[in-house]
Amino acid sequence: MQFDNFNTTTFLRDYWQKSPLLIRNPWKNWRNPVSPNELAGLACEDQVESRLITQSSDDWNAEHGPLAETRFGELGKCPWTLLVQAVDQHVADVAALIEPFRFIPNWRIDDVMVSYASDGGGVGPHFDHYDVFLIQGLGQRRWQVGAMCDDQSPLREHDDLRLLVNFDIAEQWILEPGDMLYIPPGIAHNGVAIGEDCMTYSIGFRAPSRKELIGNWCDHLLSEMTDDDRYRDPDLVVQENPGEISGDAVNRLMAMVTEKLGDREEFAKWFGQYSSMPRYPDTDWRPDEPIKLERLRNLLTADHRLLRNPASRFSFIRESAEKLLLFVDGNCFRCANDAIGVAEIVCAQDQFILNPDWQKSETVVALLAELYNLGSLGFDQD
């Protein structure tokens, strides 16, 4: 699916992380990519993350999947909502929803959560710490937006849902199939289904907090340090007062810390690996048997299309005109020469046919074999 009347340049300039925006059916041809029955089936599977939100008066209850198939027949007339995470990893047509949003860098994209709600269903007034596009798939939903919130905003007592105590409506709209609403981080919002068969697709974008970055970066540094890297002062002189921690000592101690924390090259490599870790790293996508190089060359020569695994994350950092680091699912690959062009293509396109000249490169074939054997790439015939 591609946009028909959505100006990404204007959007980034005027709305991105600034204010909500309603976009009426910006698609060339909108088609709901997954049926309610398919979504319910995914919620019953062990490897799929899902929640069932039921409402009674002003209370919300959350059940975590996998759900029993019989559960949906027990729901009765109370409003309810089914939420299924990362549906893009399981349904190709849902994964295709992400492609028009590639004007935002790959490392920012999280997943596509899909919700199905009965009449009146929703998850209550809340806010997110990340940007989200809410696309109406089936039926109608009334969206209400409120004020900017933060971690000091009062929340109701609930173990699973971050529901706001106070929610004052600033604007509201009814979304029809194909309509899209952008919500910046921190903006309070509430969606309520109107009628049956209400489906909404939420494309979320990751935004690491300073706390998260510092904590994980420090954990990485600590894992690589040894106890023999210690403070030294070979030019120590007698102090007037032995109780003083001298300025020179503080400077040396501070340098021991900041020298490692401020290593930009090492930080870039770490962040590339950290940010490309799959959402569900324990899921094994590797093929049953590793591909042999000769078999790979034959497939490339026959112009078979290579496809990225929708569950995989691809990004790169350019070190120079002759070198770049390719990051795939937490792995780092140093690329030079022909491998640079391959890395750029695999990060920009979800499927492609390799340039015939690159098929002759041993470096390129070896890189593609590694990505195939990780389960990050596959062929259209697989």
Give pLDDT tens digits for 250-260. Answer: 999 999 999 99
- The residue with greater pLDDT, 159 or 347, is 347
Class assignment of domain 293-379? Answer: alpha beta
The span from the CA of 108 to the CA of 271, in Å, is 12
The span from the CA of 275 to the CA of 329, in Å, is 9
List the domain boundaries for the chain. 8-205, 209-233+243-262, 293-379
What pLDDT shows up at residue 209?
95
Contacts of 295-304 with C-beta under 8 Å, sequence gap 24+, read 296/365, 296/368, 296/369, 296/372, 297/359, 297/365, 299/379, 299/381, 300/354, 300/359, 300/365, 300/368, 301/359, 303/353, 304/353, 304/379, 304/380, 304/381
**With 80 as the cut, is the pLDDT of residue 334 above it?**
yes
**Residue range 186-234, pLDDT digits in tens:** 999 999 999 999 999 999 999 999 999 999 999 999 999 999 999 999 9
Q: Collapsing DSSP states into helix, strand and coil, what is residue 2?
A: coil
The span from the CA of 201 to the CA of 86, in Å, is 10
The pTM (predicted TM-score) of the whole model is 0.91
**Any residues with CB less than 8 A from the CB of 44 and at least 6 apart, and which?**
65, 66, 67, 68, 69
**With 80 as the cut, is the pLDDT of residue 365 above it?**
yes
Q: What is the mean pLDDT of residues 284-311?
A: 91
**With 90 as the cut, is the pLDDT of residue 380 above it?**
no
What pLDDT shows up at residue 382?
66
Q: What is the mean pLDDT of residues 133-142?
A: 98
Superfamily, domain 8-205: Cupin (2.60.120.650)
Q: Are 66 and 43 in contact (CB under 8 A)?
A: yes
CA distances from 218 to 225, 227, 257 (A): 11, 15, 10
**With 80 as the cut, is the pLDDT of residue 35 above it?**
yes
Summary mean pLDDT of the chain: 94
**With 70 as the cut, is the pLDDT of residue 39 above it?**
yes
DSSP label at residue 57: T
Q: What is the mean pLDDT of residues 302-325?
A: 94
